[in-house]
Amino acid sequence: MKTKQLIITTLFITFFISASTAQKLDEFEVSPEWISKIERLAPNQPTVKNVSKKRILVFSKATGFKHWTIPHNIEMLKVLGKKSNAFEIYIRYDVENFSKDNLKKYDAIILNNSNPEGPKRNLFYDLLKQNSSLSDEDINNKAIEYEENLMDYVKKGGGLMLLHGAIVVQNNSKQFSEMVGGSFDYHPRQQKMHVKEVDANHPLVKAFKGKGLTHVDEPYFFKNAYFNYNFRPLLYIDADKLKGLREKPENNINYVSWIKRHGKGRVFYSSPSHNAQSLDNPEFLQFLLDGMQYVVGDLKVDDSPIGK
């Protein structure tokens, strides 16, 4: 009897472990074959055609958690820029790129999973700490300067696109949270989920054809300015369909992508996706390309906030 109970217990534990990890997708390296696949899947032309080519800085340096999709996103953005003939893509890693003079060179900035370390959650501080001999006081002051440079850049008309973990860039900054629409709170384990359009008729989610996106991802939850809903939401997930929640949220609708204005500039945030496998979806690639056209000002859409 004890042997039988032991076998049952072992099987249950094995099943539980398997069920809790089965949806974590395997990492893989960027390869010429994978890039060729993305080239085939990417849109043949932009939604808004015959526009002047825009310059986009893709900042891809992380000092904290390093998402394995960073190099995949770089190649994907290069493909979107080249195939659409709408963008010149510049990949950068140095904090000096956030000087006022340098930011003026670009029509938009894409923050590609630029996660800083916790608990400070300040990318500019981390980068300066790693790459300078300044005193801590000077580093703090310079980090504030770079943050203000980026916010001023957007306020005066620049575009800002944040991919997945980039929402954490200045996670403890109230003013940065207000600009980008929120701060990262936490996420349950990776799992298969159905991401739905808030308004299937909105031009920025037209690519999904009313069917949304089903994929394996980290379901992000947010805090701080998020609850002001000072943005136009694009995609959401039903919280009651998720497993492993820390607590039951007050609002079952959890927005995971949105757009908003900041002064004269435009912000686009997409929590999808933690995994490069999501890029195998041509509708998702179209969604990101449309987001790029939105932040540079080529694609005009309703970005009015829904508010509380």
Identity of residue 234: L
Mean per-residue pLDDT over the chain, rounded: 93
**How many independent structural domains does the chain possess?**
1
Q: How confident is the model over 215-237, as pLDDT tens digits?
A: 999 999 999 999 999 999 999 99
Residue 234: how many CA atoms within 13 Å on its side-chain side? Answer: 29
C-alpha to C-alpha distances, 61 to 117, 252, 271, nearest whole angstrom:
12, 34, 18
pLDDT (mean) for 106-128: 97
Q: Residue 130's pLDDT band (boundaries 50, 70, 90)? A: very high
Residue 303, domain member (yes or no): no
Q: Check residue 278 and report its DSSP letter.
A: G
Domain containing residue 79 = 2-295
pLDDT at 207: 97
pLDDT at 22: 47
Q: Residue 308's pLDDT band (boundaries 50, 70, 90)? A: confident
pLDDT (mean) for 253-264: 98
CATH number at residue 187: 3.40.50.880
Residue 304, domain member (yes or no): no
pLDDT at 43: 97
pLDDT (mean) for 245-258: 94
The span from the CA of 243 to the CA of 234, in Å, is 22
- pLDDT of residue 266 exceeding 60, the answer is yes
- pLDDT of residue 8 exceeding 60, the answer is no
- pLDDT of residue 60 exceeding 60, the answer is yes
pTM of the full structure: 0.92
β-strand pairing of 213-217 with 159-163:
unpaired
Residue 305, domain member (yes or no): no
Cα 122–Cα 128–Cα 131 angle in degrees, nearest 5: 140
Tokens 């995971």 — which residue? 256
Q: Which of 169, 196, 301, 180 is nearest to 252 (CA)?
A: 196
% residues pLDDT > 70 (the chain): 93
The span from the CA of 254 to the CA of 240, in Å, is 10
Residue 42, domain member (yes or no): yes
- pLDDT of residue 263 exceeding 60, the answer is yes
Residue 306, domain member (yes or no): no
Residue 189, domain member (yes or no): yes
The span from the CA of 308 to the CA of 306, in Å, is 7
